[in-house]
Amino acid sequence: MYHPDLIRHPDGCPTLVLNADYTPLSYYPLSLWPWQTAIKAVFLERVDIVSHYEREVHSPSFSMKLPSVIALRQFVKPSAYPAFTRFNLFLRDSFACQYCGCRHDLTFDHVIPRAQGGRTTWENVATACAPCNLRKGGRTPRQARMELASTPERPTSWALQENGRRFPPNYLHDSWHDWLYWDVPLEA
């Protein structure tokens, strides 16, 4: 997977990649390929071109418009459960402190502190802002009299993707809109 920020810039003509059912392969990060990769996949007949940019590439033997949206010919079944990563944990918690709801200065809180035997798992780690984390210190929520917005659980990939849909990327090419369904309007 390519880092989305590097290829999202419109000048780079990134290609939105849809699964064989014409839903995005991934919402967050949005499944984008560099156009070079997309064209290779076209020639290998692994994808169909759904939409294209006006910009063309030329070689002595061919010219073609850069694909802006492609769809895989073979359906890729998403794994049922996402990896336990820092990013996915923030995404599960919608980038909000689970104690006060703020979205700044986010850190990870061991609900049952490590010193009390708490493990680093989906079920025991929650997103917390730095002030809440500091206030809670080495105590359980109960000991600190702080309440979690929700009980931490291992999310399904589906649930995580649903959350991701609420955090659209900054840039979307016109031809992508038909294939994306964001829950909130784009912010400037």
Window contacting Zn ion (CB under 5 A); options: 15-23, 85-93, 124-132, 167-175: 124-132
State yes or no: residue 146 binds Zn ion (CB under 5 A). no
Among 41, 47, 132, 160, binds Zn ion (CB under 5 A): 132
Give the number of C-alpha atoms closer than 13 A to the C-alpha of residue 182, restricted to the C-beta side: 15
Token readout for 169 is 């990327």
Token readout for 103 is 């979205």
Footprint of Zn ion on residues 94-123 (CB under 5 A)? 97, 99-100
Q: Closest distance between Zn ion and the C-beta of residue 92, in Å? A: 16
Q: Closest distance between Zn ion and the C-beta of residue 119, in Å? A: 22
Report d(CA 183, CA 161) in Å as an integer: 12
Window contacting Zn ion (CB under 5 A); options: 32-40, 41-49, 74-82, 127-135: 127-135
Which of 41, 77, 72, 86 lies closest to 179 in space, CA to CA?
A: 72
Window contacting Zn ion (CB under 5 A); options: 8-16, 84-92, 131-139, 146-154: 131-139
Size of the site for Zn ion (CB under 5 A): 5
Report d(CA 79, CA 186) in Å as an integer: 28
Nearest to Zn ion of 57, 134 (CB atom): 134
Nearest to Zn ion of 50, 129 (CB atom): 129
Locate the DSSP E strands across the chain: 15-18, 32-33, 47-58, 63-72, 106-110, 125-129
State yes or no: residue 129 binds Zn ion (CB under 5 A). yes
Q: Closest distance between Zn ion and the C-beta of residue 131, in Å? A: 6
Return left, alpha or beta for 86; rule: phi > 0 is left, psi -120 to 50 is alpha, else beta.
Answer: alpha
Residue ranges in contact with Zn ion by CB under 5 A: 97, 99-100, 129, 132
